[in-house]
Structure formats: structure tokens, C-alpha cells
Structure 1
Amino acid sequence: MSDQIEKQGTTIEEEPSGQTRSERRKERQKRKKNSERTRAGARVRLVPIWLRLIIVVVLVFISLIAGLLFGYGVIGDGSALDALKPETWIYILDMINGEVQ
């Protein structure tokens, strides 16, 4: 019984290094704590999340306007800048609502 120790009526097996389970568990917890500390402080975002969201919204808006200009000016037969005029959109909405024949 050289690799086992009798303790309070139960048998605890030792590792070849001479540590018990509770000692190994404490060591693992210490290592985990240390790794969490270094991991939390090691990563710094260059662009914060809130700024990323704003950038995405702006890019979506720009691509929407670009698609609108391309669709109205190239695919349609109108001038591209006419797509930005309110009169154009009032006319389009009137056509949808059936007010223009």
C-alpha cells in the first residue's frame, strides 16, 4: 500500500507527485484565477462595440442611397439625382395609392 494512504476510514490515492485531490484542485483554481486576470486585461478592442454598430448603420444607409440612385438613374430612365427629390417620392406614393392614373 505504498501508493495509497488510509485517512479516516477511506482510502485516498496519491498521484506520483505526492499531491492529494484537494491540493490539485486548489492549484487548478489558482491557475484559473491567474489566467482569468491576464486574459481579461490582455484584450483591448480597437473599435468599441457601440462605434461598430454606428458604423454598420451608416454603411447600410449609404448603400441604400447608392442603390436608390443606381436603380432610378441607370435601370430606370430618370436622372439619378431626381431620386432624392421629395416630389419624386410624392409622385411614387400617389401611384401606389391609386391617386394617379
Structure 2
Amino acid sequence: MSGYNKAGEAIAYARFSMGNYNATILYSLLDANDFNAGVSGSGNISTFSIQQMEKALNDYKQLYDNGNSLSESDFLMSDLKQILDFLQNCLEIANKEGSVKVFFG
């Protein structure tokens, strides 16, 4: 997945290897399960508002950023960090420009 500003510049990127089911976390947070095509995204682009990105980030924080030291695998923790970075970068652009585009590919 890639996030883009209005100028078409990539501002966020989340990459998951084939068979990595942690990608579904990001699809769920964005309420974008329709764009999940299994191994990769559907190839579609969707525009997300500030409110949608805020909700996704807030949902992430409630579910995964509870301050506890989890004994999760490094693999999961790395993916969660990548998801957090993606959401924060997309929200930053949405706050500046009113929305952000996400390519699901």
C-alpha cells in the first residue's frame, strides 16, 4: 500500500510479504477490506478524509498501542510499527491537504 499527497508524491508505504496476514490489520483499520485481493491489493485507489485517518489511528492505538510490553514476535512488532508509521504519515498529509489517497497494490 502507498499513500499519496495531492501532488501525487508517495508519502507513506506499507509492504507485506506474500502470505503475511498482518496486512489484514491495516485493511481493517482503514475499513478497506474490499480492496484486499489476497496476496496484494486490488490495484484500486481510495481517498481518505482526515476523520477516517484519525479513526484508523485511534483504533490502532486502542488495539495495539496499550503501553504494555508484549511478548509478541519481532515479526509482528515490526509490522505494527510499519502500520503505525503508515497511518501517521497519511494522517499528517490529510491534516495538511484535507485528504490522502491510498493505492492498494
Normalising by structure 1, report the TM-score: 0.28
Largest Rg, 1 or 2: 1
**Larger relative CO (CA 8 A, sep 6+): 1 or 2?**
2
Q: TM-score, normalised by structure 2?
A: 0.27
Between structures 1 and 2, the one with greater strand share: 2
